[in-house]
Chains A and B, each alone.
Chain A
Amino acid sequence: MIVKANIKEAMRSLLAAKQRTLLALIGIFVGIGSVIAMVSVGTIVQNEALRQFREMGTDILTIGREFGGGSQSRQDEISLDDALEIPTYCRQISAVAPYASSFGKYKYEGKKWDAPVLGVTESFLDLNKLTLREGRFISDLDHRSYFCVAGDAMGKKLRSLGVKHIIGTQIFFSEKLFTIVGIIENAPMGGMRPYEINDSVMVPLPISQRLSQGGKIQNIIGRIRPGGDHVVATTEVKNYFKKMVRGMAVRIRSAEEIIAQMQKQMRLFTILLGAIGSISLIVGGVGVMNVMLVSVAERKKEIGIRRALGAQRGDIQLQFIVESIMLCMVGGLLGIGLGIGASYGISIFSKWSFSLSYHAILLGVIVSAAVGIFFGFYPARQASRLNPIDALRSE
């Protein structure tokens, strides 16, 4: 109840010195606005980066050849059979999609160009969560046939070269004639998909292994069975390769692991951004302290009167701290609005999905109050320490 009286008094004092109050307010407004904008943007960026990973599912592993020491094998390659046996020997793995990625020369009606090529199995479509626009995907029965599936950008290129019906069209790759049997919808690169599907043509993996410009299997995508554990799966696969594939060493990355790492890094990044935003907040806080000191100096007589009426030093201190907190909270609330508005603008401009981060708002409220207390403390203490008799004689 004495706090309520103080709050009313504080509002009255602040409104009585409008110009001064407004100037101090601006400092806090910008300061809190910066911190909130930074933290909010940091969170949005974090979510955006994770979204790409999450798109493919968090139950994905990539298995790759380990280079540099530790392998006793003389053979360079993972064979198709080695890869296809994995689900049999590793109970945590439900499906695998080995692939070979390479680059080569394409030719159509005299036009030549270079583009990537991917040698894939039937499971590639599902494991990468790709969708077919037209036609069909590579089948495991195609292993001797020169069929291929075009990525979205490759399809557009052929259309620009005058092709009306892409399905059934034949193009040359690596001096061999392929028939296109399907087109894939646009699929962005990134995350667990470190290959450019849109620009590529997908061919059956056994075919790509036999082409001069085809690739060797360097990586395998695996899906962990429902309810499985990525740590156990990793161990199983490593052991499989060690025991069953000539002591081969493999490097395994799980989506879950990467996501956790990314989250940790991004959190640090967001904290760093917040700290940078805090610099302007410190300046704002100094402005508040300045304004409060002027306020105390101008109101010495009032302080003297209150003390004469029996106010304790603590009462005077409380009065001025409350005033400081009120000032900062008003500026802070406006600053939160500014910060969220700014982060909304930035996310619209960068085409990220905007999310309202409630902990940023809470942060803004707490920091405002803290700034009020911290920067108001010195002036409030000065006020409480005034000698009543001298204070009464002021002005």
Chain B
Amino acid sequence: MIDIHDLHKFYQIGPIEMEILKGVNLKVDKGEFLSIVGTSGCGKSTLMNIMGLLDVASTGSYFLEGRDVSQFSDRKQSATRNQKIGFVFQHFYLLSKLAAVENVALPLTYRGFGDKERRQRSVRMLEKVGMEHRQHHRPTELSGGEQQRVAIARAFVGNPSIILADEPTGALDTRVGQEIMNLFLRLNEEEGVTVIIITHDPGIARQCKRAVRMTDGLLRDELF
């Protein structure tokens, strides 16, 4: 499913060139539940951006479902992102002007789905995360945990190949955070979607079936 080989990423900051990723190698199979652990600044967010096609690697190869996506144009990146990738962010990133069900439907809008179809799929997804009773509420009316559920529904609604979650429990308390992790595990089982969680919290990493540690721009050990 994901095959990353010798990925390097450089950033130019003024006269200085910084190498953030120094030759990352990673293979992920379909349906895996993986966490990428590392301290802040180690490059895990950069790797996530590249995996999510929000950014492009400087050198190296990235094969997604057998296709070399490393040098995709912006247009192709956006299309692939829309169809294959679902994001979940630490701070939920829902649009405050839209109701929950409309937030969930947003990726489908960019795929050109009709009104009725969008609504049906969104409501179905909200049911799966246990939020369909609050579908008409705006994000400001929802708690942190509820908002993250809606965000997860949004990530899953388009039947993506991978879910990339960047510190999904970071803004939630322990109990709620655990509920969210349970939700991820359940959806990973039920939908068979590959889930990759980026975190600095070893407690979270321990709940995943597989974990890799990122240190200084390189993926080193596989934990347990």
Contact = CB atoms under 8 A, between A and B. Distances in A.
B141 to A, nearest CB: 16
Interface stretch (B58-66, B102-110, B216-224): B102-110
Contact of A310 (B49, B78, B95, B97): B78
A376 B93 CA distance: 26
A46 B154 CA distance: 61
B220 to A, nearest CB: 25
B201 interface: no
A302 B54 CA distance: 15
B87 A309 contact: yes
A301 B92 CA distance: 12
Given A13-B97, A305-B93, A306-B106, A312 B55 contact: no
A312 B110 contact: yes
Interface string A310-321: 111101000000
A16 B138 CA distance: 14
B82 A309 contact: yes
Given A305-B93, A392-B93, A310 B54 contact: no
Interface stretch (B16-24, B111-119, B180-188): B111-119
A96 B85 CA distance: 90
Contact of A312 (B49, B75, B83, B107): B75
Contacts of A16: 97
Interface in B130-147: none
Interface in B30-81: 49, 52, 54-55, 74-75, 78-79, 81
Contact of A311 (B78, B83, B114): B78
Nearest to A305: B93
**What class of interface size applies to chain A in its complex with B?**
20 to 34
A141 to B, nearest CB: 87
B54 A1 contact: no
B98 to A, nearest CB: 8
B74 A308 contact: no
Nearest to A310: B82
Nearest to B80: A310
Given A2-B109, A12-B97, A305-B93, A388 B83 contact: no
Nearest to B166: A392
Identify the interface centre among B52, B74, B154: most chain A CB within 10 Å of its CB. B74
Contacts of B82: 309-311
Contacts of A306: 106, 110
Contacts of A310: 78-79, 81-83, 85, 107, 110-111, 158
Given A302-B95, A309-B154, A1 B114 contact: yes
A12 B98 CA distance: 9
Nearest to B75: A312
A13 B93 CA distance: 17
Nearest to A312: B78
B74 A313 contact: yes
B52 A308 contact: yes
Contacts of B109: 2, 5
A109 B154 CA distance: 104
A308 B52 CA distance: 8
A375 B127 CA distance: 43
Contacts of A388: 54
Given A12-B97, A311-B110, A389-B49, 10 more contacts: A2-B109, A307-B54, A309-B81, A309-B106, A309-B107, A310-B158, A311-B82, A389-B54, A392-B89, A392-B93
Interface of A: 1-2, 5, 12-13, 16, 301-302, 305-313, 315, 388-389, 392
23 contacts: A2-B109, A5-B109, A16-B97, A302-B95, A305-B93, A306-B106, A308-B81, A308-B87, A309-B81, A309-B82, A309-B87, A309-B106, A309-B154, A310-B78, A310-B85, A310-B158, A311-B78, A312-B110, A313-B74, A315-B110, A388-B54, A389-B49, A389-B54
10 pairs of A and B residues whose beta carbons are closest in the complex? A310-B82, A310-B81, A309-B107, A312-B78, A305-B93, A310-B110, A311-B110, A308-B87, A388-B54, A389-B54
